[in-house]
A and B are shown apart, each in its own frame.
Chain A
Amino acid sequence: MNQEVFLAMPVFLISAFAVLIVVLDAVSGKNKTINFAFGIFSLLATAGAAIYTLTLQVPKLVNPADYHDIFTITKNTMVFSSYSAYFDILFSLAGILTMLASRSFISKGYHEYKEYYSIIILAVAGMVYISHANNLLMLFIGIELMSIMFYILSGYFRQRIESVESALKYFLLGSFASGFLLYGMALVYGATSSLELNVIAQFIAKNNFNATYLTFGIALLLIGLSFKIAAFPFHQWAPDVYQGAPTTVTAFMSTAGKAAAIFSFIIIAKALMPSFTNNAMRLVSTETMQMILAVLSAATMLIGNITAISQKNIKRMLAYSSVAHAGYMLMGVVANNQLGYDGIIFYATSYLFMQIGAFIVLSVLENKDSSNINLDNFTGLRKSNPYLAALMAIFMFSLAGLPPFAGFFGKYYLFLAAIQSGYTWLTIVAVISSVISVYFYIGLIVYMFFKDSDNPIAKAELKLSSVSLFVCLIGVLLFGFFPSLLMNLYAIIK
């Protein structure tokens, strides 16, 4: 049988399950457990299929310019590399962790509707399309599917003004950004008269394109995508949206959603960052693109970390810090070498575990109207919830990038990659901003462990969230103590 059938399995499976779970919504009646279990099952199946594809002989990361009609079943609209398959696993994992933690959380805050689970599956489907896109249209459909599901999810607590407000802001700014993204795609299409990224890359390699339109198109694409990952000039929506949305949804959006958006950056950069010099405009050269991205990345991490310092609300603080983490991940795209792309894999994995873990700790401690997640409320947490406090401390250490946790090695690989490709100044900025970030991450730990309060948060019930927390803890520790494990695994599998 054609190997491509197996390679495409994650995409086909998630699409099929997405249809089935919507049907299941209609027939399952009042039973929500079936939908929940089916959702977990479908994500596990997708992740399993993706793990299987990793064992096949596939290119590590397909460079669109050397792509020659390899994938015939999907008519070149999709690309299958071990890189995309790995990200499929990450997205499914994030979905599973979120769903496990959501069960008790959404019924505590509002009411459990079974549609919640189908919307999460659909969002994961969107991310899977992004990671496999070889066509501007597939990329657009993936991004929009994911974004629209996020708009719905962030407004899920529809009786709370914060939630609806975050949904409104996300919706308006997100569709505004989509407008720019689309205009960029239209201009790239105009410049090369093709929608397929490999054809576009070949046009560019042959210097057969309209330079002005391509430049302007790339600029607009960068604006749109910067909105989606919340990079520097367009990051203002992120804290509001992440703070107002239900906490488990924030966990999902700020990790898997961000990783998917970074992935679309990688796709665009790979296809449109051409290395040519004899072009009249000189505006679209690899060096210029790298420089623009480097400035974006530096500004993003600095702004995110500096603003996070003054936050009193922990959710908002983590939201600002997630802006900064997007900046770190951009470093891998800037470096544009194998180490950089491997570094993004490592960073995205470790970031997923630590950020989802931190948000899930918040979600179990939260009261009914989420009013007790300020720094002051967390004083003396070590007495009432010692285990949760310890977990939170581990996640904070990891987010701050302190050894021996996974976050440290994630940063290490990215910094190394940036230095390798000659961006030492960017690495220096990144180190400085990491040092700044230590201040507020450790600040939370100080509140939890070294201050006492008269009425600390009551002992929290964990229920299924404990499974997610356990997985996150294992991830942070395992890849922290044995960083080579992940890298070797990825290298051997290929």
Chain B
Amino acid sequence: MLESIPLEYYLGLSAIIFAIGAVGVMTRKNAIIIFMSIELMLNAVNLTFISISSFFGNTGGPIFVLFVMAVAAAEAAVGLAIVLALFRLKKTVYVDEVNTLKW
């Protein structure tokens, strides 16, 4: 059943998702949207892991993905706490308006 769509399609798809996420991180100014783009990149990585592991019949991939999810959840909690702390102080979530640290 799996043979009808080759592995390359899945890998290509995840490469495109990764690239879209990277574009978001580099071009957007809103901290929350940057964070969402990072989640896109992580999803692309997870897709790569899962497709490789199911084509090669190896269980390492799903395990890794589980841990990536745990770490992503921890990152989400910490990241949004930081964004909230920033919003309390500066009333903004735009990274270009946060520039007290300069030389």
Contact = CB atoms under 8 A, between A and B. Distances in A.
The answer on direct contact between A and B (beta carbons under 8 Å) is yes
Interface of A: 136-137, 140-141, 144, 148, 151-152, 155, 158-159, 161-162, 164-169, 171-172, 175-176, 178-179, 182-183, 185-187, 189-190, 193-195, 239-240, 243-244, 310-313, 316
Contact of A172 (B31, B44, B101): B31
13 contacts: A136-B64, A137-B60, A140-B68, A141-B71, A144-B74, A161-B90, A164-B82, A166-B101, A168-B95, A172-B38, A182-B42, A243-B101, A310-B103
B18 A165 contact: no
A294 to B, nearest CB: 27
Chain B contact surface mostly: helix
B75 to A, nearest CB: 6
A164 B86 contact: yes
Nearest to B68: A182
Interface residues of B, number: 42
A141 B67 contact: yes
Interface string B24-52: 01000001001100100110110011001
Interface of B: 11, 18, 21-22, 25, 31, 34-35, 38, 41-42, 44-45, 48-49, 52, 56, 58, 60-61, 63-64, 67-68, 71, 74-75, 78-79, 81-83, 85-86, 89-90, 95, 98-101, 103
A172 B30 CA distance: 11
A325 B5 CA distance: 49
A171 B82 contact: yes
A244 B101 contact: yes
A335 to B, nearest CB: 32
Chain A contact surface mostly: helix
Contacts of B34: 172
B65 to A, nearest CB: 10
A137 B101 contact: no
B46 to A, nearest CB: 8
